[in-house]
Every structure is written in C-alpha cells, then in structure tokens.
Chains A and B, each alone.
Chain A
C-alpha cells in the first residue's frame, strides 16, 4: 500500500458501562487504516463492533454509557479524539461524511429533501441561496435521480427505498468529503437496487476522489467493492488483507468458517459448514482468543493467551498463531 494514509485508527477501545458495573468491551483494541481514494471494508456479524468503530471516528458515541477507553484516531494527521466538539463539527459532515443503513429513519420526514441536502452545505460553506439551489440540483443529478429540480421539493415518503438511499448519498457528498463512512448502505435494499447503488458509489468515488470506509456483514458486497478488508470478530480485528487475500487465501479460522458457511450453488448437495455456537456476549467474552470456543483448531494456548497478529506479507495479517505456526512448518 503506497497510498497516502488518510485515516488511521490505532488501538481503539470503546467500552459500554451497563447495569451492575458490567463493562461491554464492544471495541477492544482495533487498528485499521484507510488510504486516499481507497475503499476499505470492515466486515463482521452483528455485535462485532464494526458500527461502534465507525461511530467513534465521528465522535457519535454517547458518553455515558459509552467510553472511549483508549487509542487514537488520526485523520489527515489530526487526532479526532483530542478535538473539542466545536472543531469536530468542522470535520463531521464536511470532510468526513456518513451514509447510514436505514434511509427512511435517517431522513427527517417533515422536511423536503432539498432542504436536508442543503443543510450541510449551509453549515459548512459560505454560499448564497442561488448557488445552493444549483448545487443541490447538481448533487441529485449526480446520484441518478431523474428530474432533480422537482424532486428537491419531495418529502422522503414520496421516494422509493433506492431513491432515498441515493438522497442519503447526495447528502454525504454535499461538501465534497475526503472520506465517506457507509454503514450497511445497501442492507435494506433489494438486490437489483443494491447493485445499482454499489455501481453508483464506485463511479462517484472515482469522480470525487474520495476514500470510502464501508461497513457490512455481507461478504458478497465486500468482494464487489473492497480494495482491502478487515474482518472483525467480538471487538477485535481477526484478519486483514487485500480482498484477494481474504477471499482466496483466508488465514483465520473465523474467516475460513464464514466463507465455508456461505450457501452457493456450487455447494449444492453438500452439507454446509457451520460455525458452531454463537457470537459471545460483549460483556462476557471468553479469555484468550475470543473465537476459541467456536474454533475447530483451538489448542490450550488459545484459551489462555490473547492471540498476536501474524504477518503473512503483502499486508495480509491474521490473528491466529496456531494456523500461522502450522503454515510455516
């Protein structure tokens, strides 16, 4: 990876304090990087900490009950965790924008979409009403909404699910951000609409030279969009690498299990592999490697020692010393 690093999250820890002094370590020492103009995917199942990691970047974790217990988030050299709220506001929605999963609940039902797209521009840029209007029309046209001029006066309920997500993308692009964080942006959509949105995203990313941090549980989507992938499990990064590393040569038992358990036509007639057990409760994580109770390769040391990241070269790393040692033999 020779590209300049735009975002670097270093050993981030986010804890949530629950009843009876319980602490859920939702994010437990996570590090990842996003280069300029790069698409990076954080992939994992529900509760693995991927959304919490993303929300921490924008300072959107409620404290309390949440607590950023450690780490640094460097964006273009500045540590976002050290910034005052006022300074963070200049970055949020301006240099870093976010697209959420559920477009209907993330749009305000009582405002016209034109006003909602214009809001961020009005806050961050000095711009007169005429130019603002032109900019909004341009944005809606860019995201592929027909007759944009009229659509500015529509309310969210008048649009289809795919169009709402397009509006969300237009809002995110409003201030020409350097980084867009997209949290499951296509999960609520039909497959054909998903394919259109993914295509649109790719085209806009090239045009605006943005970086994208893409959060999803869908490995199919990851394989379609990502340059690099971080696989998360129970608050840690289990494996990271280029998309080809993850899908062609996975080195962590969790990644291997996930890929083997995907039902595809090629596996017809054969029994699907299924990872036994369930994701651990973040407040009661097993000691050692959090995956060991479900892992087919677990040995005694997995139950006792926190696993180290093992380097396979070329940016491909997996947090499983057992398979690493077996591989090196």
Chain B
C-alpha cells in the first residue's frame, strides 16, 4: 500500500469558500482468515473519492449499500483514519492530525446518524445528551446552559419540557430531531447527515427535510447529505457525487446530473427509481450480475453490470474526467475532449 507524502496544506481556490474538500481518499480493510487470522486480502471500501463542499451548500453523496459512502463520512469525522488522501477542513489538512490536534475541528463538524433509536443513550435524558455538547463548548452551568438547551430544542421544533424525558418516550422523527439538536449544540459549521431520513415514515421524512433546510438558511450550515434515495438528493442538494464500489463515478451540480447523467451507472440508478410523477416506465438496462460477489476485475468497477461495458473498460487507473464545466465522470466509454482534467482541482 502506498504511504503518504506530507503535502503542505493549501487551498487552491480560496475565493470559492470551500468548507470541506477531500482528495483521493482511500480506506482498505484487511480480510483475515485462518487460525492465526492472517491478512488474506483487502476490501477496498473507499478507493478514489474527491469532492468539495461550499460554505452554506449541500453535497449529496449517493450510492447503494456497501459502496463506501458511510466509510467516507467516518473518515471525514476522523472516526476512522484514512489510509491515503487528504481531507481539508477550510484551509487545514486534518487527515493526519492526532486526537488532541483534532479537538478544535471536531466542534466544527458533527454527524447525524441514520438510526434514531441506536444513536441516543437510553439511560440519559434528552437534556443530558444535548448538554454533553454544551459542556464541551464551555457553556457555563446553570441558567445560561438551561436557556441554550431550551433554544436548541426549540430550533428543532420540540418543546423545552422534552429535556427531562428519555429517548424511548419519543417517536422516530422526534428522536431524529433530538439527534440534530445534539449535533447543533457545539455550533458546527458542517453537519454530515448519514441517511438521516431512511428510517422514518414518509409523512415524517418531509418534516425532517424541511427542518434541515430551515436550519441551513438560519445558521448558514453546510451539509454532506449521504443517501441512497435519488429523489431526496435531487430535491435537497446543490452538488451530487455518485459513488459505486469505493469510487466517485460522477460528480456534478444537481440540475446538471439529473438532466444530463453521463455515467451508465448514474443512468441505471435514475432509471431504477420508481417515480410517482413519471407516466411510462423506463426499461432498466442492467446486466444481471452472475454468481458470487468476488473481487472486481481490473479497471472500471461497474464493467460487469454496465450495458456499455467491453474490453476497453479493463484498462487500469481510470481517472475522473471532465465532460462539461463542473461535471466529472469516471468512465472509459465517454469521449474525452481536449480540455480533459484529471481531478476537480487542476
């Protein structure tokens, strides 16, 4: 495995107001087997991920289960250490910082998890859960802290009296609101939402989506919105990155991506969403994957399922190339023009 070279932190486009940028992020997990649990192989969970999030905007990270999107979230939060690649928060590379050095950044980035049941401590009252964050940012005990707690609960549309109750007394949607209030307690600039509405009922999903939008308008928050639901992402996000098997396959502004999807994988995903507004059904062009899931062949990770896949797709080191301004695609079959750019930063 390649080891990293220390690169001087730098932000190539300071005028763009980028809050988070990841470059060539990688995480490989060892597969151990046998009596001594020797490493017998590697699962390349994240293998080539680049994107930027602008201040006050939302980037949607879409992909199917197992594509590595949650691993990306965990690396950005530094709950996992990346094997390779850079993570810039504003100007600073945080990918190699020690736990102690990370502390000031942790307050500025928070995460809201999918499962509103599993992510709140059942033995702590809602108030106690949220107060942990307030203690960390140094809100003084007593009335000031109480006021702030009430303010946070009101911000997410809950009554201040909820503070004394326990998580089991609340519904799924309310628990997700509590999770959001807890994330807000440290005044973050960026919130990573890892499938925040997938576990909720349809009528409750809209409430949480509206809440996220309101908070963004009010507090100027930036979001990394991780989801498998292209409908929600198309509604909510400014930029969309489509992930498959550890790679960003396509990366474009939301309108552009939905209007002109270039990658066959994105096209497949879009064709597969059942859409209540669409009258006639698009026929799904997807080769059936054969047999057992095994290590992917060299080259493009989608080639086995791709309607356009052929021998050309086996070439290694497939880059993310520009097909239009701000529109990047990782596909050998797409004609590249003269203005090919290897990464979004060149």
Contact pattern, B 328-339, Cβ under 8 Å of A = 1, otherwise 0: 000000000000
User: Is A192 a contact of B277 with CB atoms below 8 Å?
Assistant: no
In A261-308, the 8 Å CB interface with B consists of 261-268, 271-276, 278-279
Contact present for A263 and B205 (CB under 8 Å): yes
B286 touches A271 (CB 8 A): no
Interfacial chain A residues near B174, Cβ < 8 Å: 278
Contact A258 B203 (CB under 8 A): yes
| A191 interface residue (CB < 8 Å to B) | yes
Alpha-carbon distance A55/B277, docked complex (angstroms) = 31
Task: Note all chain B residues with C-beta closer than 8 A to A265.
Answer: 231, 234-235, 254, 258
A190 and B65 contact, CB distance less than 8 A: yes
Tell me if A259 counts as interface (CB < 8 A to partner B).
Answer: yes
How far apart sit A266 and B230, CA to CA, in the bound complex (Å)? 12
In the complex, chain A residues whose CB is within 8 Å of the CB of B12: none
Write out the residue numbers on chain B whose beta carbons fall within 8 Å of the beta carbon of A191.
64, 228, 230, 269, 272-273
- Residue pair A258, B293 in contact (C-beta under 8 Å): no
Q: How many residues of B contact A (CB 8 A)?
A: 42
Stretch binding the partner chain, chosen from A4-12, A77-85, A131-139, A194-202? A194-202
Query: Does B326 make an interface contact (CB < 8 A)?
Result: no
Binds A, one of B87-95, B104-112, B139-147, B206-214: B206-214
Question: In the complex, what residues of B have CB within 8 A of residue A268's CB?
Answer: 234-235, 254-255
Determine the main DSSP class of B at the interface with A.
Answer: helix
Q: B236 near A: Cβ within 8 Å? A: yes
Residues of B within 8 A of A272 (CB): 206, 209-210, 235
A247 at the interface (CB under 8 A from B): yes
* Bound Cα distance A146, B291 (Å): 6
Q: Which residue of A lies closest to B284 (CB)?
A: A195
| Bound-state Cα–Cα, A198 to B271, Å | 13
Q: Verify B276–A223 contact, CB threshold 8 A.
A: yes
Let me know if A224 is at the binding interface, CB within 8 A.
yes
Determine which of A144, A199, A263, A275 lies in contact with B231 in the assembled complex, contact meaning CB atoms within 8 Å: A263
Choose the segment among A92-100, A212-220, A309-317, A320-328 that binds chain B (4+ C-beta atoms closer than 8 Å): A212-220
How many interface residues does chain A have, given as a range? 35 or more
B173 on the interface (CB 8 Å rule)? yes
Answer whether residue B80 sits at the interface, using C-beta atoms and an 8 A cutoff: no
How many Å lie between the Cα of A195 and that of B202 in the bound state?
20
Q: How far is the CB of B58 from chain A (nearest CB, A)?
A: 12
Are B275 and A195 in touch, CB under 8 angstroms? no
B295 within 8 A of A: no
Q: In this assembly, does A179 line the interface, its C-beta being within 8 Å of a C-beta of chain B? A: no
CA distance A264 to B209 in the complex (A): 12
Cβ of A220 and Cβ of B235 under 8 Å apart? no
Q: Quick check: is A117 within 8 A (CB to CB) of the other chain?
A: no
B171 within 8 A of A: yes
Chain B residues with a Cβ under 8 A of chain A = 64-65, 171, 173-174, 201-207, 209-210, 213, 228, 230-232, 234-236, 254-255, 258, 268-269, 271-277, 281, 284, 286, 288, 290-293
Interface residues of A (CB under 8 A from B): 45-46, 144, 146-147, 158, 160-161, 190-196, 198-199, 217-221, 223-224, 247, 257-259, 261-268, 271-276, 278-279
